[in-house]
Amino acid sequence: MKDCIDQKTFSRYLEDSLEPEVLTRLEAHCRICERCAGELAGWKVLKEKLREAADVEVPDGLKEKVMSRIAGEKILPARREGGARRGLAAAIVFAAALYYLFRPVLRPILFSLISAGLKFLSALWYNALSAVGMDPAILIRLFGKIMAGFGSLLPVFMAATFLMVTGLVVLIIRGRAARQPG
């Protein structure tokens, strides 16, 4: 039905905190709505079981035993969520900042490292293809073109890295703001 009883009202029924007019409306609605009548029957069973449980006697000294055991437990600090993500984002931002600060010094070093890496891969592919009887000249031309165009690709790569890092930082800040109470 359109005007079925919500869970909050059923919960208040369980606690006996419904006003008399709301209780009357609840019972009247349950007479015409099978779904809510079934729900109310379940809540009535739960209410009866809770009344029966209230009659159970607690052994003497139970509270003292529980409280002394709680006092003896070591309380560990709560783990912060997302620590690894924050650390990774900080490392990426730090690496990008270092690169931009030391770009004149790092650029030739990075070019030589990347060039050496590409040469190594080229030689590795050359030897692997030669071992199986394929012509490695195709890959040599491909790697040559990549290495020749690498200087023009580096700024694009760095811009893409900057955008990804900025996006990561924004997501981290948004996540932190979403978790803060208030």
CA distance 172 to 20: 50
**Sequence-ordered list of residues with C-beta below 8 angstroms from that of 106, at least 6 positions apart, any chain:** 98, 99
pTM: 0.33
122, 139 Cβ separation under 8 angstroms: yes
112, 181 Cβ separation under 8 angstroms: no
- Domain residue ranges of the chain, discontinuous segments joined by +: 7-72, 83-179
For the chain, the average pLDDT equals 79
Q: What are phi and psi of 60, to 5 degrees?
A: -65, 140
For 63-133, strand residue ranges (E) read none
Cα dihedral sign, 61-67-72-74:
positive
13, 40 Cβ separation under 8 angstroms: yes
Q: Identify the three-state secondary structure at position 168.
A: helix
pLDDT digits (tens, 9 = 90+) for 46-91: 888 888 777 777 788 888 888 888 888 877 777 667 677 788 888 8
Torsion of CA 150, 100, 92, 145, to 10 degrees: 0
**Sequence-ordered list of residues with C-beta below 8 angstroms from that of 21, at least 6 positions apart, any chain:** none
**Sequence-ordered list of residues with C-beta below 8 angstroms from that of 168, at least 6 positions apart, any chain:** 89, 92
What percent of the chain stands above pLDDT 70? Answer: 84
Extract the tokens encoding 161: 């890295």
Averaged pLDDT for residues 160-178: 77
pLDDT higher at 173 or 24: 24
Averaged pLDDT for residues 82-109: 80
Q: Is the pLDDT of residue 8 over 50?
A: yes
SS3 content of the chain, % helix, strand, coil (to 5): 80, 0, 20
> What is the pLDDT at residue 181?
54
